[in-house]
């Protein structure tokens, strides 16, 4: 409970009232934390049983444990989390542009700090996966020709060869993506790595690439200000301000550092922010805003097949604000990149078809159970609070978009392994409901009230992320 939630009074009565109101808040957070611990423990036990039963592929199993490596580097994410929690209460007092900048810097530092704790040295977790470097190296000087042949190797039944006919590199260690797994994803992350390499940030497949990894981490962290802007528009500024610490210290940052796939969260967040802000009352050039939102959704589709369905959240925001014509321009904007992909020879439907996992019912159910475990661990205790407050949040269009993207991934066979990466663009929107006030305001005109800042849940989630970083063999 913060000052904005409690009527201002003078004297000891005010302090006593704040203390009496804070106790139920802490008690509610403790209940959420206890429920999260119990469900996460049950989920980890289930994951261990699934792994022992050999129902899932060991190469794509996300929860592979190792002997803990405790060293001085583990103190770095603990320090970043402590500073962020100490500053979190001031999120309602800092100037808005400064808060957005702090959100970006905090997210970058948190992701990088978790990466340095991976070991065996400080820079290991900041290097991009070698498979992306190897595949990007095959692009050579003609990215359009490479894009046109992106789906050829797997569709013709020869996944062991690259698009130029050369042999693919050997499979990496367990837990790391192989060249074939990279080819089952959209080509956007590989082309991004190639483009950054042309700017002097490349690295040999055998090592290096810390500068490239830091740039990729920064691109993913840049989504935090965009998400805060979208929440400010659809909810209100107080909720957006309190959402920043939640977005910064997300355990999902375990998979954001130096990951080309994690960059998907940036165009996805930009598409939602542009769409939501563009349909505000009194906003000029609304149709251009809608067109730009669609273009960004089309760009998102080149990075992830399922994240493009976050556009359902944009359509829901248009519905809330009664802007039906904007749906048409957003749809047209989204189709333009698809047309360009087709003109350049890349068939998006063929790419989606080769990404689909053909598994039996038993394996699909096993993966679904494991996906729930991953969401619990990667979302942290804040997920439990968000689930309880879904019906209270004015930001429900964000949840509709994230739910549509997750449902598409399940129906299209994209969620059988790797959701810690593929659902990362959805993760921030799932946490929006955690900032909903209880009880819900009587009318939509309330621009001050928001749910209390769940510092206990944020801190517990950060501590859990550090523990996972130490225990997981790969991110």
pTM of the model as a whole? 0.88
d(CA 168, CA 135): 8
Mark residue 345 as left, alpha or beta (left: phi above 0; alpha: psi -120 to 50; beta: remaining): left
Task: Look at residue 55 in the predicted model and tell me its pLDDT.
Answer: 66
Eight-state DSSP code of residue 415: -
CA distances from 321 to 207, 236, 292, 448 (A): 50, 15, 18, 20
Whether residue 24 sits in one domain with residue 164: no
Task: Look at residue 207 in the predicted model and tell me its pLDDT.
Answer: 52
Whether residue 231 sits in one domain with residue 370: yes
Whether residue 427 sits in one domain with residue 369: yes
Whether residue 421 sits in one domain with residue 296: yes
**3-state SS assignment for residue 165:** coil
Q: Which two tokens stand for residue 276?
A: 């939501």
Whether residue 164 sits in one domain with residue 298: no
Whether residue 329 sits in one domain with residue 275: yes
- Cis preceding linkage at 439, omega within 30: yes
Whether residue 309 sits in one domain with residue 216: yes
With 0-12 / 13-18 / 19 or more C-beta atoms within 10 angstroms meaning exposed / middle / buried, residue 1 is middle
Phi and psi at residue 34, to the nearest 5°: -65, -40
Cβ(174)–Cβ(122) below 8 Å: no
Q: Which residues contact 365 (CB under 8 A, 6 or more apart)?
A: none
Whether residue 185 sits in one domain with residue 319: no
Whether residue 30 sits in one domain with residue 108: yes
Nearest residue to 399 (alpha-carbon basis) of 410, 389, 413, 414: 389
Cβ(286)–Cβ(321) below 8 Å: no
Query: What is 175-223 written as a DSSP string?
Result: TSPPHHHHHTS-SHHHHHHHHHIIIII---TTS--HHHHHHHHHHHHTH
3-state helix, strand and coil shares in percent for the chain, rounded to the nearest 5: 70, 0, 30
Alpha helices, H only, 6-160:
12-52, 75-88, 96-116, 130-137, 143-148, 152-155
Return the CA Rg of the chain. Answer: 22
Task: Look at residue 73 in the predicted model and tell me its pLDDT.
Answer: 82
d(CA 310, CA 299): 12
Q: Which of 183, 208, 233 is the last residue of a domain?
A: 208
**3-state SS assignment for residue 231:** helix
Whether residue 216 sits in one domain with residue 165: no
d(CA 161, CA 451): 53
* Domain span at 377: 3-128+211-471
**Structural domains of the chain, count:** 2
Q: Which two tokens stand for residue 360?
A: 């039996």
Query: What is 336-386 written as a DSSP string?
Result: HHHHHHHHTT--HHHHHHHH-----HHHHHHHHHHHHHHHHHHH-THHHHH
Whether residue 321 sits in one domain with residue 427: yes
d(CA 108, CA 427): 16
HSE value, Cβ hemisphere, 13 Å, CA-based, for 142: 9
Q: Which of 208, 227, 254 is the last residue of a domain?
A: 208
Q: Which of 163, 178, 208 is the last residue of a domain?
A: 208
Whether residue 455 sits in one domain with residue 311: yes
Task: Look at residue 70 in the predicted model and tell me its pLDDT.
Answer: 73
Q: pLDDT tens digits, the chain, 475 residues: what are they?
A: 344 443 334 444 544 444 555 677 788 899 999 999 999 999 888 888 877 777 666 555 667 776 777 778 889 999 999 999 999 988 888 999 999 999 999 999 999 999 998 777 777 788 888 888 888 888 878 888 888 888 765 444 433 344 444 444 444 444 455 566 677 789 999 999 999 988 888 665 545 588 899 999 999 999 999 999 999 999 888 889 999 999 999 999 999 999 999 999 999 999 999 999 999 988 899 999 999 999 999 999 999 999 999 999 999 999 999 999 999 999 999 999 999 998 888 888 888 888 887 777 777 888 888 888 899 999 999 999 999 999 888 899 999 999 999 999 988 888 887 888 889 999 999 999 998 887 766 655 556 677 788 999 999 999 999 998 888 765 5
């Amino acid at each position: 409970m913060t000052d904005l939630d409690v009527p201002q009074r003078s004297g000891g009565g005010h302090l006593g009232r704040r203390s009496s109101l804070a106790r139920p808040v802490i008690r509610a957070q403790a209940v959420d934390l206890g429920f999260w611990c119990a469900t996460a423990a049950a989920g980890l036990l289930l994951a261990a049983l699934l792994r022992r039963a050999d129902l899932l592929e060991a190469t794509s199993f996300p929860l592979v444990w190792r002997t803990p490596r405790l060293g001085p580097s583990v103190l770095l994410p603990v320090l970043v989390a402590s500073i962020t929690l100490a500053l979190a209460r001031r999120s309602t007092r800092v100037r808005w542009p400064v808060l957005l900048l702090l959100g970006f810097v905090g997210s970058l530092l948190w992701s990088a700090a978790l990466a340095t704790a991976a070991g065996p040295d400080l820079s290991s977790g900041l290097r991009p996966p070698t498979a992306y470097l190897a595949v990007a190296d095959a692009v050579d000087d003609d990215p359009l020709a490479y894009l046109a042949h992106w789906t050829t190797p797997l569709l013709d039944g020869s996944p062991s060869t690259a698009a130029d006919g050369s042999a693919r590199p050997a499979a990496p260690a367990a837990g790391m993506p192989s060249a074939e797994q990279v080819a089952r994803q959209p080509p956007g992350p590989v082309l991004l790595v190639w483009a950054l390499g042309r700017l002097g940030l490349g690295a040999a497949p055998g090592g290096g690439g810390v500068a490239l990894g830091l740039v990729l981490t920064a691109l993913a962290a840049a989504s935090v200000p965009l998400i805060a802007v979208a929440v400010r528009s659809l909810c209100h500024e107080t909720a957006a301000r309190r959402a920043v610490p939640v977005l910064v210290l997300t355990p999902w940052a375990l998979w954001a550092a130096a990951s080309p796939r994690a960059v998907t969260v940036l165009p996805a967040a930009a598409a939602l922010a542009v769409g939501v802000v563009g349909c505000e009352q009194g906003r000029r050039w609304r149709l251009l805003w809608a067109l730009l939102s669609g273009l960004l959704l089309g760009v998102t589709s080149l990075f992830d097949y399922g994240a493009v369905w976050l556009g359902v959240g944009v359509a829901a925001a248009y519905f809330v604000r009664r802007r039906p014509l904007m749906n048409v321009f957003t749809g047209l904007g989204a189709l333009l990149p698809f047309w360009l992909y087709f003109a350049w020879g890349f068939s998006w439907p063929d790419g989606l078809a080769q990404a689909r996992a053909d598994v039996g019912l038993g394996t699909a159910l096993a993966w679904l159970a494991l996906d729930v475990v991953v969401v619990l661990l990667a979302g942290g205790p804040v997920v439990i609070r968000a689930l309880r407050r879904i019906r209270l949040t004015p930001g429900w269009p964000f949840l509709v978009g994230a739910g549509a993207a997750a449902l598409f991934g399940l129906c299209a066979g994209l969620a059988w392994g790797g959701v810690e990466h593929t659902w990362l663009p959805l993760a921030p929107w799932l946490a929006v409901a955690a900032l909903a006030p209880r009880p819900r305001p009587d009318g939509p005109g309330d621009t001050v009230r928001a749910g209390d800042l769940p510092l206990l849940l944020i801190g517990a989630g950060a501590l859990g992320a550090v523990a996972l970083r130490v225990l997981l063999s790969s991110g």
